[in-house]
């Protein structure tokens, strides 16, 4: 999309008390917009599902956003393929939850096997890699759900839980690359505690007392 070009998209998210929302385009992009960027006062406040005409702009961080907005009417609807209404689509939440439970079972089975084999210290990198890949995938899914405007989202507690059991490197990478959850201060505070808690627990497990505890668990 080029700046200055008249474009169209569908409101997939709108927060009326804050005056901002997101527009979904048929190319799969999700653009921020604010009520102050309308060319003229709209006939009604934007709502989810409204078709908007806009131009593309760049903010101070060179991120694209929608400006020169107006509610699409019969006179402003573009006769292009982009006029089709975008229906919210995204992964089925029940499938994601099922896969998450499968991962939990696999994780604890591998943990039990490593304890029985007495090789926990050698399998730590494998645990972190597996948990990080899965947690990164969860962030991708949640980002797609948010972009498609679905109300059913992955609970933040689930994202934090998978970070806590070793997936926080993948979560950190996903936040940086996908720009997801990075501006939610409460979530970021919890995430820092998760990293600290996981690191302390790992150091304890690798200590003499932690190793003795693991041996007892394995024997039990």
Question: What digits encode the pLDDT tens for the residues 169-214?
Answer: 999 999 999 888 888 889 999 999 999 999 998 888 778 887 777 6
CATH of domain 7-83: 2.40.50.140
Q: How confident is the model at residue 94, as a pLDDT?
A: 56
The three-class DSSP label of residue 206 is helix
pTM score, two decimals?
Answer: 0.53
Residue 125, Cβ neighbours under 10 Å: how many? 9
- pLDDT-flagged residues of the chain (< 70): 1-4, 73-101, 104-105, 107-108, 110-122, 148-152, 214-215, 217-220
- 175 close to 168: Cβ distance less than 8 angstroms: no
Any idea where the domains of the chain sit in the sequence? 7-83, 93-219
Q: How confident is the model at residue 192, as a pLDDT?
A: 95
Q: How confident is the model at residue 196, as a pLDDT?
A: 95
Q: How confident is the model at residue 187, as a pLDDT?
A: 93
Taking the C-alpha atoms of residue 51 and residue 8, their distance in angstroms, rounded to an integer, is: 7
Q: What is the DSSP letter of 53?
A: E
Q: How confident is the model at residue 150, as a pLDDT?
A: 63
């Amino acid at each position: 999309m080029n700046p200055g070009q008249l474009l169209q998209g569908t409101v997939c998210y709108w927060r009326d008390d804050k005056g901002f929302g997101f527009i979904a385009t048929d190319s799969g992009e999700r653009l921020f917009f604010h009520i102050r960027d309308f060319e003229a006062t709209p006939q009604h406040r934007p709502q989810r599902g409204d078709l908007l005409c806009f131009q593309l702009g760049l903010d101070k961080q060179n991120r694209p956003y929608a400006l020169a907005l107006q509610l699409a009417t019969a006179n402003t609807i573009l006769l292009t393929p982009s006029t089709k209404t975008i229906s919210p689509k995204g992964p089925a939440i029940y499938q994601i939850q099922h896969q998450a439970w499968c991962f939990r079972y696999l994780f604890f089975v591998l943990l039990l096997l490593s304890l029985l084999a007495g090789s926990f210290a050698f399998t730590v990198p494998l645990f972190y890699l597996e948990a990080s890949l899965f947690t990164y995938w969860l962030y991708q899914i949640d980002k797609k759900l948010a972009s498609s405007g679905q109300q059913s989202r992955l609970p933040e507690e689930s994202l934090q839980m998978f970070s806590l059991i070793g997936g926080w490197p993948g979560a950190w990478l996903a936040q940086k690359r996908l720009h997801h959850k990075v501006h939610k201060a409460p979530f970021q505070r919890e995430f820092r505690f998760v990293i600290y808690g996981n690191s302390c627990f790992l150091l304890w497990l690798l200590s003499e007392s932690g190793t003795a505890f693991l041996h007892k668990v394995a024997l039990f």
